Structure 1
């Protein structure tokens, strides 16, 4: 049994080492990163991957909505200034090295067998994998809703952490680059449910990593002020209201939690939209 457990953990280590080689090996001379301890390599890889993802998704998204589709999705007086976007990039970049401690810690705990992660879908079979993934996402949704709501409701948390993000409170100050413009601890707290879930529900390792990184793309998307009407997805229309009323739409991927707890405000029948 111990041998099986060791083999199981080795699979995680092999996978994280592979990711480190893919990212660091292609971008840095091996003399720079090869001698570093595994956990530092992992952190460095997460920083590089996170930064690349942030810039690539942000630039593509901004190019698409502010240049290519100029005045189609976002009225031209609501296009954020270059200064506003640069400030968001500055805040996000300052926080990035800190954000990356979270996936690094989660990978460390997984490699050491502290979580309920498994390395291959074939370990459990596809049907069970899908059920567990759904449970994982429900837990994350629940966790992020309450974390986000408490960051508003507990006054010192709001004042010292979450207010940094809420200086972007109008359409022309919100952009995809605002997606990661948080106080470092705020960004980490809002992603912590991803890690807590690993101790509660058996989770496929690669899916966990993918979802953590998908957060970066998702947050870029919900800060672009474009209301994609895909029920029950918590799109930018809902999230823009969150940035203007501060009391509604705390949810993450979906509107379920807000709907159940009475904090939902729908852009479709919202007077704020009409004033815009």
Structure 2
């Protein structure tokens, strides 16, 4: 479905304006953000919301697995030091302003009718919405897999961008805070399939925004080194292998792309090798 017409496009702008007022209006004095152009209000809202989500989810996650459930999910000698986690936070915070430019740009494109977004689920119906959502996730998964894989295979991209993230290469250097500890351009490249998909598949606007913020929670999850082993989810057990071999498990939400393209390595197989 192509979204066109000035009246229809106003629905997107009204929605982003509402989100801006919810976040900025409750956290900042009006004089600090209201005079800003709409695009910069949107960027600031994404920056504040993204930063809060990163810290709240990261601290709660670390408190639960490293202190409340100490030695239950992660062995004591595999718990990262506070210094390591602070370094991850520092790297993520340097990149956060740049990360938040991507959703601001995607919202700008949606508001101007350049994408295939629709504003209301009722515009297409629930069955079509669910079908489009699944197709969108497949497109995003495919895009992130190949973007991530090329960040390894193309040597300059790895050396100057992705290697910053791969200094965390064993259990006691990985933590939920490492989930966003990337070079800014690296993080944007790996999230850009979400935006490209908007031009390919009709997508509910609010669902698109929700998926972008779910990224922050998901990346925290896959860096906590806990192998939940829920097929076909690309959980932390798989992603920890990626950080130790560099050549396997490039996928994001699922193992399907790695299975299709021959780069899958199962944590259960790794456990069997250790036992033998």
Q: Shorter-chain-normalised TM-score: which range?
A: over 0.9
* 1:245 alignment counterpart: 245
Matches of residues 88-103 of structure 1 in structure 2 within 5 Å? 88-103=88-103
Q: Check the 8 A contact 1:267/1:273 in 2, yes or no.
A: no
Distance verdict in 2 for CA 1:241–1:9, change over 3 Å: same
Report the Cα distance in structure 1 between the residues aligned to 2:144 and 2:96, rounded to whole angstroms: 19
Unaligned runs of 5+ in 2: none
* 1:163 alignment counterpart: 163
* 2:50 alignment counterpart: 50
Question: In the TM superposition, what is the alpha-carbon distance from 1:273 to its structure 2 partner?
Answer: 7.3
* 1:115 alignment counterpart: 115
* 1:9 alignment counterpart: 9
Question: In the TM superposition, what is the alpha-carbon distance from 1:274 to its structure 2 partner?
Answer: 2.5
Question: In the TM superposition, what is the alpha-carbon distance from 1:271 to its structure 2 partner?
Answer: 5.3
Q: What is the CA RMSD across the aligned residues, in angstroms? A: 1.2
Unaligned runs of 5+ in 1: none
* 1:194 alignment counterpart: 194
Report the Cα distance in structure 1 between the residues aligned to 2:109 and 2:133, rounded to whole angstroms: 19
Report the Cα distance in structure 2 between the residues aligned to 1:96 and 1:106, rounded to whole angstroms: 16
Q: Check the 8 A contact 1:164/1:183 in 2, yes or no.
A: yes
Question: Do residues 153 (structure 1) and 156 (structure 2) align?
Answer: no
**TM-score, normalised relative to structure 1:** 0.97
Question: Do residues 127 (structure 1) and 127 (structure 2) align?
Answer: yes
Report the Cα distance in structure 2 between the residues aligned to 1:228 and 1:5, rounded to whole angstroms: 47
Q: Check the 8 A contact 2:4/2:113 in 1, yes or no.
A: no
Q: Check the 8 A contact 2:117/2:202 in 1, yes or no.
A: yes
Q: Check the 8 A contact 1:249/1:265 in 2, yes or no.
A: yes
Question: Do residues 233 (structure 1) and 227 (structure 2) align?
Answer: no
Distance verdict in 2 for CA 1:137–1:180, change over 3 Å: same
Question: Do residues 35 (structure 1) and 29 (structure 2) align?
Answer: no
Report the Cα distance in structure 2 between the residues aligned to 1:144 and 1:4, rounded to whole angstroms: 29
Q: Check the 8 A contact 1:115/1:198 in 2, yes or no.
A: yes
Q: Check the 8 A contact 2:78/2:171 in 1, yes or no.
A: yes
Report the Cα distance in structure 2 between the residues aligned to 1:228 and 1:33, rounded to whole angstroms: 42
* 1:59 alignment counterpart: 59
* 2:206 alignment counterpart: 206
**TM-score, normalised relative to structure 2:** 0.97
Deviations 1:45-68 (A, max 9, x none): 000000000000000100100010
Q: How many residues align?
A: 273
Report the Cα distance in structure 1 between the residues aligned to 2:120 and 2:52, rounded to whole angstroms: 27
Question: In the TM superposition, what is the alpha-carbon distance from 1:143 to its structure 2 partner?
Answer: 0.1
Regions of 4+ moved over 4 Å: none
